[in-house]
């Protein structure tokens, strides 16, 4: 989909990036200052770089060829609010549509459809200063989409929002990126957002690419990728589950993981029977025998597949890879090295994974 082989100068150093991003939603992930925003700006043609940029069958940059930013048809949502304060919401949205018309682009995403997709009908007559943070973010993304982009760049679009506002806007982002099938690069520091939205991950270190691959493979390995003390955030696992029931009295969703069962807190059952759960590595404890009389509700029989010491800021911890009995799912738990030795954990041994919390990420 998008192939990069570029160098971006930054003062006395440079960002080196060689990668190919597939269709779908790709997370651009890494510690602050590693060059994520600079990379997005280079892709959009806003920051000079050398090398080649290819999108699908188009060459945006290579040798003497350089396609200017406005002809790349990139929708860019910046970290900060970029709405025109003197315009109403509808006028802001029509500005994005007008730019597409001025460039004689086919209008595949009309105003009425995007307004409905982002639930903006009640906001059209309002000015940006009257909008909440979540409403403003929705309008920013909708305006970018009305520019009829062939590639969408989202630079921490939920930055500065509290957890309630994020919960409000994430479903809109999930719907728009999947249902409209616009290839998207999504910058975020939060693995929970990535688990909900992204199919693929690029992990950056200091001005370079550390690793890339499917989200389901990369999230559990984050603790192993920090070699220079970078904070790469919360490692965790994405596993598939089947909804089997719901208790309104306890706000509890019953699920099956292969041949085993779990319960996840929720005010209502998911819209689909198949879901993905995000389990943070730090929220999984390990027992070598089945414990009783616990407040922890979820316990899965597992087999120890690998044990790897962590380094950098996580020195003193180990990553324990676990296969869930009766399924193809794998978990990653981060426990102390001392606990690992005290339990005498061995490869191939049977154990129990005690799951303190699990969050529904996406439909499977």
Q: Please say if the pLDDT value at position 234 is more than 60.
A: yes
What confidence tens digit (pLDDT) does each residue in 170-192 have?
Answer: 877 887 777 777 899 999 877 77
Q: Do 17 and 4 meet the contact criterion of CB atoms below 8 Å apart?
A: yes
Q: What is the pLDDT of residues 117-133, one digit of tens each?
A: 888 999 999 999 999 98
Rounded Cα distance between 303 and 351, Å, is 6
Half-sphere exposure of 28 (CA within 13 A, CB side): 27
CA 115 to chain centre: 24
Q: Domain map of the chain by residue range?
A: 2-225, 236-363
pLDDT band at 79 (very low <50, low <70, confident <90, very high): confident
Q: What is the mean pLDDT of residues 99-128?
A: 88
Superfamily classification of domain 2-225: P-loop containing nucleotide triphosphate hydrolases (3.40.50.300)
Mean pLDDT over 63-78 rounds to 92
pLDDT at 8 over 90: yes
Give residue 346's pLDDT.
96
Q: Which fold has domain 236-363?
A: OB fold (Dihydrolipoamide Acetyltransferase, E2P) (2.40.50)
The pLDDT assigned to 15 comes to 93
The torsion angle over the Cα atoms of residues 310, 237, 185 and 30, rounded to 10 degrees, is: -20
pLDDT over 80 at 305, yes or no: yes
Q: If you average pLDDT over residues 65-88, what whole number do you get? A: 92
Q: Rounded to an integer, what distance in angstroms lies between the CA atom of residue 16 and that of residue 197?
A: 26
pLDDT tens per residue across span 128-170:
999 998 899 889 999 999 988 999 999 998 887 777 777 778 8
Apex 330 CA angle, 210 and 21, nearest 5: 35
- Report, in angstroms and rounded to the nearest whole number, the Rg of the chain calculated over CA atoms: 22
Tell me the DSSP string of 194-235. HHHH-SEEEEE-SSBEEEEEEHHHHGGGHHHH-SSS------
CA distances from 157 to 44, 59, 98, 163, 187 (A): 16, 28, 23, 13, 8
pLDDT value of position 233: 66
pLDDT value at residue 67: 95
- Cβ of 290: how many Cβ atoms within 10 Å? 10
pTM of the model: 0.84
Most confident of 5-14, 29-38, 225-234, 241-250: 241-250
In this structure, what is the dihedral angle of CA atoms 23, 25, 26, 31, given to the nearest 10 degrees? 170
Tens digits of residue pLDDT in 191-205 = 778 888 898 999 998
Q: What share of residues in the chain are helix, strand, coil (percent, to 5)?
A: 30, 35, 35
Averaged pLDDT of the chain = 89
Confidence of residue 240 (pLDDT cuts 50, 70, 90): very high
CA distances from 131 to 87, 122, 137 (A): 13, 11, 9
Please report the pLDDT score of residue 60 as a whole number: 97
Whether the per-residue pLDDT at 350 is higher than 60: the answer is yes
- pLDDT for 232: 67
d(CA 226, CA 308): 13
* 26-35, 217-226, 246-255, 299-308: least confidently modelled range: 217-226
Torsion over CA: 4, 6, 12, 13 (sign):
positive
């Amino acid at each position: 989909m998008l192939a990069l082989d570029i160098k971006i100068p930054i003062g006395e150093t440079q960002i080196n990036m060689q990668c190919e991003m597939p269709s779908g939603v790709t997370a651009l992930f890494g510690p602050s200052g590693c060059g994520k925003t600079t990379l997005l700006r280079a892709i959009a043609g806003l920051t000079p770089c050398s090398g080649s940029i290819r999108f699908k069958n188009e060459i945006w940059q290579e040798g003497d060829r350089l396609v200017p930013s406005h002809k790349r048809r990139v929708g860019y949502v910046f970290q900060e609010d970029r709405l025109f304060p003197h315009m109403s919401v509808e006028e802001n949205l029509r500005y994005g549509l007008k730019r597409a018309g001025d460039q004689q682009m086919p209008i595949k995403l009309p105003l009425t459809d995007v307004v409905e997709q982002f639930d903006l009908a009640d906001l059209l007559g309002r000015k940006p200063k009257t909008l909440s943070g979540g409403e403003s973010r929705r309008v920013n993304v909708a305006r970018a989409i009305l520019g009829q982009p062939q590639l969408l760049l989202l630079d921490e679009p939920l930055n500065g929002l509290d957890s309630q506002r994020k919960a409000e806007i994430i479903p809109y982002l999930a719907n728009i990126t999947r249902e409209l099938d616009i290839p998207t690069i999504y910058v975020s520091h939060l693995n929970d957002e990535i688990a909900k939205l992204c199919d693929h991950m690029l992990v950056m270190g200091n001005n370079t690419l550390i690793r890339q691959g499917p989200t389901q493979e990369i999230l559990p390995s984050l603790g192993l990728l920090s070699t220079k003390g970078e904070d790469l955030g919360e490692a965790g696992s994405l596993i598939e589950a089947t909804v089997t029931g719901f208790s309104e009295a306890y706000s509890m969703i019953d699920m099956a993981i292969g041949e085993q069962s779990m319960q996840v807190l929720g005010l209502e059952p998911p819209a689909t029977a198949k879901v993905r759960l995000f389990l943070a590595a730090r929220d999984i404890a390990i027992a070598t025998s089945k414990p009783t009389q616990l407040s922890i509700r979820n316990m899965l029989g597992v087999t120890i597949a690998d044990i790897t010491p962590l380094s950098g800021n996580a020195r003193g911890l180990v990553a324990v890879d676990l296969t869930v009995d009766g399924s193809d799912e794998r978990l990653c738990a981060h426990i102390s090295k001392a606990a690992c030795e005290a339990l005498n954990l061995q490869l191939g041994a049977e154990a129990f994974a005690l799951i303190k919390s699990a969050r529904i990420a996406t439909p499977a």
